[in-house]
Amino acid sequence: IAPGCRIIGDVEIGPDVSIWYNCVIRADVNRIVIGARSNIQDGTVVHCDSPDPRNPQGFPTLIGEDVLIGHLAMIHGCTLKDRAFVGLSTTVMSGCVIESDGMLAAGAMLSPNKVIGERQLWMGSPAKYARDLTDAALADMQAGVAHYVENGRAHAGEVAASTEALSQPGD
């Protein structure tokens, strides 16, 4: 968890998750679950939706394992299943589901209650189905997961070292 992040409320974070600089994970009105090896890149906001009379459970935000979420995304009251990919500067609204191996392209806005199917790419604002993903695209997504697990470990070490150096009295 990089410096500058704010994690508030009922949040469950799995192993090898990386949450990058200046993210906000705010589970003040419902819960947020982030599965193993997922990454949430710089400046992303993850929130949930509170219960109401029409929707007694509200919309928690459930992020599966091996999920990639790009910089500056807005993730709100939705479900991102295992190996989902959410591109840079996207918006995923309440009630949405991105199925396993589904992708929302950079800059897209997924309007409430939409479902991106397995291996589907959706683009645009509002987002619409564009095409199915190739095996090569899915392999690239999983390579990205491995990259962010390693990069997260490296950054954790660097942050710890720089924090320790800053706490040492000067010469």
CATH code where residue 137 lies:
2.160.10.10
Residue 1 belongs to a domain: no
Q: Is the peptide bond before 60 cis (omega within 30 degrees of 0)?
A: no
Residue 171, in any domain of the structure? no
98 within a domain of the structure (yes/no): yes
Mean pLDDT for the chain? 94
Is 134 within a domain? yes
Please state the separation of Cα 139 from the chain's center in Å: 19
Residue 97 CB coordination number (10 Å): 18
pTM: 0.91
What is the tens place of the pLDDT at every residue in 92-124?
Answer: 999 999 999 999 999 999 999 999 999 999 999
Q: For residue 79, tell me if it sits in a domain.
A: yes
- Answer whether residue 127 is part of any domain: yes
**Domain with 17 in it:** 6-166
Q: What's the number of domains the chain is made of?
A: 1
Torsion of CA 1, 58, 103, 107, to 10 degrees: -80
In a domain? residue 120: yes
Between 9-13, 25-29, 138-142, 157-161, the lowest mean confidence (pLDDT) is in 157-161
Residue 148 CB coordination number (10 Å):
23
Please indicate, yes or no, if residue 138 is contained in any of the structural domains: yes
Tens digit of each residue's pLDDT (9 = 90 or more) over 63-101: 999 999 999 999 999 999 999 999 999 999 999 999 999
Residue 171 reports pLDDT greater than 60: no
